[in-house]
């Protein structure tokens, strides 16, 4: 394991050359690596130290780093107010799923899916946004049918609706996990594609 690495420009040794390259040679990391293919910017020792430090911080009780990391989940959404609501409900949905609270999980994930599809398609009606997402290839045919069923789940927030429809069939771990999977898949696709 390398403790230090050598700058190919001036031959000085460092554990991390990022700042040195900018200050001493006016080179970004990318420019340096283009000029010296295969050259490292940080030593193995520094990388290991950094990894261990982040692991300790992540497990620390001082700051909830899971929450901080979760706050970037919807960074592809331009509307800042909507992004804050998405982040809040996403955290709630994950907690509900972990605690096997199927009904709030289904309602929250359904709401998140609706919001990101409406934001992505620019259509205010969920049904129309869903149709456009299918025609644009944003979602698969299977996801379309699963999400289509979910549109009605939101009405189960009204207990009489759930009672009249025999909600036990849809208020289940299967649907909660299915919606979670669809939501996570959409988030990955939208983050990869860039900001909405």
pLDDT digits (tens, 9 = 90+) for 56-66: 765 655 555 44
pTM: 0.60
Picking from 59, 77, 93, the residue at the C-terminal end of a domain is 59
- Please give the average per-residue pLDDT across 162-186, as a whole number: 79
* 20 within 8 A of 14, measured Cβ to Cβ: yes
Residue 45 shares a structural domain with residue 79: no
The string of pLDDT tens digits covering residues 46-56 is 888 888 876 77
Residue 119 shares a structural domain with residue 137: yes
Residue 82 shares a structural domain with residue 100: yes
Residue 13 shares a structural domain with residue 83: no
Residue 32 shares a structural domain with residue 73: no
Residue 29 shares a structural domain with residue 76: no
The string of pLDDT tens digits covering residues 21-30 is 988 999 888 8
Query: Which residue, 181, 177, 157, 180, is CA-closest to 167?
Result: 157
Picking from 15, 32, 59, the residue at the C-terminal end of a domain is 59
Domain that holds residue 135: 65-193
pLDDT confidence of residue 168: 55
Confidence at 11, pLDDT banded by 50, 70, 90: very high
């Amino acid at each position: 394991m390398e403790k230090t690495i050598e700058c190919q420009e001036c031959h000085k040794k460092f554990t991390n050359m990022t700042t040195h390259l900018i200050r001493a040679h006016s080179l970004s990391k990318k420019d340096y690596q283009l000029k010296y293919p295969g050259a490292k910017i940080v030593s193995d020792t520094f990388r290991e130290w950094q990894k261990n430090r982040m692991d300790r911080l992540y497990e620390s009780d001082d700051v909830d780093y899971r929450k901080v990391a979760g706050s970037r989940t919807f960074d592809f959404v331009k509307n800042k107010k909507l992004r804050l609501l998405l982040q809040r409900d996403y955290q709630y949905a994950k907690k509900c799923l972990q605690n096997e609270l199927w009904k709030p999980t289904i309602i929250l994930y359904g709401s998140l899916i609706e919001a990101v599809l409406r934001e992505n398609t620019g259509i205010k009606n969920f049904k129309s946004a869903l149709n456009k997402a299918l025609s644009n290839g944003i979602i698969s045919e299977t996801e379309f049918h699963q999400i289509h069923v979910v549109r009605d789940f939101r009405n189960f927030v009204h207990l009489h609706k759930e009672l009249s429809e025999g909600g036990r069939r849809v208020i289940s771990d299967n649907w909660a996990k299915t919606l979670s999977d669809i939501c996570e898949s959409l988030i990955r696709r939208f983050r990869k594609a860039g900001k909405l």
